[in-house]
Amino acid sequence: MNTEKLNFTVPSKARMFSFVLMAVGLLSIILMFLTDHVEGDENYHHTRAWSNVFAGSFFFMALSLAAAFFLGLQYAAEAGWSTTIKRVIEAVTMYLPWGLSFMMLLFILGQFHVHHIYHWMADGIATSGHENYDEAIANKIGYFGTFWWVRTILYMFGWLWFTLKLRKNSLEADKLDIDINNSFHWKNIKLSAWFMVLFAVTSSTASWDWLMSIDTHWFSTLYGWYVFSGMWISAIIAITILVVWLKKVGYMEFVSESTMHDMGKWMFAISFLWTYLYFSQFMLIWYADIPEEVTYFQTRWESYKALMWTVLFVNFAFPMVMLMSRDTKRNFFFLMFVGTIIFIGHYLDVIMMVMPGTVGHYWTGLSWMEFGNFFFFLGLFIYVVLNALAKAPLLVKNHPFLQESLHHST
Amino acid sequence: MATNKHIIHGVFGDEVPLMEACKKLRASGIRIKDVYSPMPIHGIDGVIGVPRTRIAICAFIYGLTGCGLATLMMWYMMISDWPNDIGGKPNWEYYFNVPAFIPITFEATVFCAAHGMALTYFLRCWLIPGAKAKNPDPRTTDDKFLIYLELNDEQKVKAEVILKDNHAEEINHKGSYVVEPKYTLEETH
């Protein structure tokens, strides 16, 4: 095995690419804030621009969080196939501190009424007689307000602690000289088991708190899983595309075709999980036809119909047809091509979660704002992840499943 | 001219040398009739030259059948024969109520595809009740791996060397038979 190729250095082209993306994105964000207003609505406050920034922050934060979950899942299940790509998964999780910082910044700005993404953050929403008073929200205000902030901080610290600890243990294991030493592996298995428990609860509640509360009057118990499946598939695509790219520029020859085939299977399977949850939520609401529940889809059906169908088509029908066959899952070009399109599809899905609750009927269809903003976060994500990748060898040491993974074949 | 066919069992204690032997045998132009193993060996089908399975095509056809049957059934029951209306849905037209029918369509598709595939597999392998075991050496259900070969005189010599070189534990000769050519030159002219 070529040991030189185990240490990754960020190619200058890739660095340049991420800087260009960030520059274009930043310019679009500035232009977006300058141009985004609605004639005759004093209370609009650049809502679409803020919602875009929010969607970008959330999507990439959730993606790296789901990568941390995926990493934890490999440990907890004692899975051997994924050991060769473990460093790539870890690199994706290293965006989490950045993503959470953006979220926190947006939450603080919201609390100080700079933007109006969260209706329940408005002044006097629970004060009887106030012009903003909303009885339905006033009844739930115990769950929002201070308690919401406590939860938010708990999620952030919990996730960060586990993610950074998993990474640290993995790097520590590399430093050991003894050939076979699994002590850090066992530590990570324990950590991961606890992280799974934390994640199972907080992924749902965080989705309710951060995304579902945008449509404050509406609620759905399935929502958390729906958000979770979306971020999981995005993480899997990000990891797959990274590995394919690394192979293309001459690294990671040790990743077998079967491992990539397995990533393709995950892509296919989680696309179906997403569809299953999306449709389950839709069908129950459509069938029961309860006014307080249908409002969610009513807004989307009226002002976002094209986007709604696009999301369903790109995230369900497209991967189903393209990734069904064994040959396409083993074709790196196909994996990259299909992955990129589903990745954008799931970003649009996040747009679908955020926009109708904030921008509402002012929506005029997808525009340069959505894409420009997406480019900024994508550029930053690429920059952070590639730098994290360069910090450690691409192949782990002292891992009990390393040999199994190197010889993995299906 | 009649040719001799010799039946040879190459018995191995592990799957790794067996795979190597299979590769060498195939490289020297010998057709491997079958391999018997106590456990599935990943990637063996490519090595011994088993053609790609067509069961996926069957699965697709069975799935399509299930999907069609379920749709027909629900359309007949809920729309055509005795229109049902529970809380406003479904009503009047099938296409207008598709969300309500999707779960059953999905289940029927999966049901037919899975059962059809299992039954096809059993029939193709002739694993039916009362079928006789075709295992040439019962030890392959325990801890031995076996390559089953049917070879002519010239191949037999080559194969024995290859098997021996790749650490076959036993090379068992299970008799031979004579293959008469179907037509002779005199008959065709």
CB contact under 8 A, B89 and A279: no
ipTM for the whole predicted complex goes beyond 0.85: no
In a domain, A203, yes or no: yes
CB contact under 8 A, A409 and B89: no
Question: Nearest by CB to A283, which of B56, B87, B102?
Answer: B102
Q: Is B89 on the interface with A (CB under 8 A)?
A: yes
In a domain, B133, yes or no: no
Question: Which CATH number characterizes residue B12's domain?
Answer: 3.30.70.120
Q: B63 and B119 share a domain?
A: yes
Q: B102 and B69 share a domain?
A: yes
Q: B102 and B62 share a domain?
A: yes
In a domain, A54, yes or no: yes
Q: Which of B86, B89, B101, B110 should be substituted to probe chain A, the one whose Cβ sees the most A Cβ atoms within 10 Å?
A: B89
Please, which contacts does A301-308 make with residues 24 or more away whose CB atoms are closer than 8 Å?
A302/A361, A303/A356, A303/A360, A303/A361, A303/A363, A304/A352, A304/A355, A304/A356, A304/A363, A306/A365, A307/A348, A307/A351, A307/A352, A307/A365, A307/A366, A308/A352
Give the range of the structural domain holding residue A178, as residue numbers without chain letter.
Answer: 37-406
Q: Is B46 on the interface with A (CB under 8 A)?
A: no
What mean pLDDT is reported for chain A?
92
Residue B114, classified by CB atoms within 10 Å of its CB into exposed (0-12), middle (13-18) or buried (19+), is middle
pLDDT band with cut points at 50, 70 and 90 for residue A403: confident
Give the tens place of pLDDT for each residue, A113-144.
Answer: 899 899 888 888 888 888 888 888 888 888 98
CB contact under 8 A, B100 and A283: yes
Give the tens place of pLDDT for each residue, A311-339.
Answer: 999 999 999 999 988 888 999 999 999 99
pLDDT on residue A83: 92
Q: B72 and B102 share a domain?
A: yes
Check pLDDT > 90 for residue A402: no
* Contacts of A294 by beta carbon, 8 Å cutoff, 6+ apart: A285, A286
Q: Which residues of B touch A279 (CB under 8 A)?
A: 99, 102
**Mean of pLDDT values over A366-387:** 95
Q: B147 and B180 share a domain?
A: yes
Please, which contacts does A70-73 make with residues 24 or more away whose CB atoms are closer than 8 Å?
A70/A232, A70/A235, A70/A236, A70/A239, A71/A166, A71/A192, A72/A162, A72/A166, A72/A191, A72/A192, A72/A195, A72/A196, A72/A199, A73/A192, A73/A196
CB contact under 8 A, B87 and A289: yes
pLDDT on residue B97: 84
Give the tens place of pLDDT for each residue, A186-232.
Answer: 999 999 999 999 999 999 999 999 999 999 889 898 999 999 999 99
Question: Nearest by CB to A287, which of B42, B43, B100?
Answer: B100
Q: Say whether the peptide bond before residue B90 is cis (omega within 30 degrees of 0).
A: yes
Q: Which of B15, B41, B42 should be substituted to probe chain A, the one whose Cβ sees the most A Cβ atoms within 10 Å?
A: B42
What's the pTM value of the predicted model, to 2 decimals? 0.88
Q: B114 and B161 share a domain?
A: no
Least confident stretch, A87-101, A243-257, B44-58: B44-58
CB contact under 8 A, B99 and A289: no
pLDDT on residue A43: 76
Name the residue in chain A with its Cα closest to that of B44.
Answer: A410
pLDDT band with cut points at 50, 70 and 90 for residue A2: low
Distance CA A10, CA B50 (A): 44
Q: Which of A384-388, B18-22, B141-145 has the highest mean pLDDT?
A: A384-388
In a domain, A27, yes or no: no
Distance CA B56, CA B116 (A): 11
Number of domains in chain A: 1
Q: Which of residues 124-163 of B touch A (CB under 8 A)?
A: none
Number of domains in chain B: 2
Q: B160 and B113 share a domain?
A: no
Give the range of the structural domain holding residue B7, as residue numbers without chain letter.
Answer: 3-38+143-188
Contact A173, A155 (CB under 8 A): no
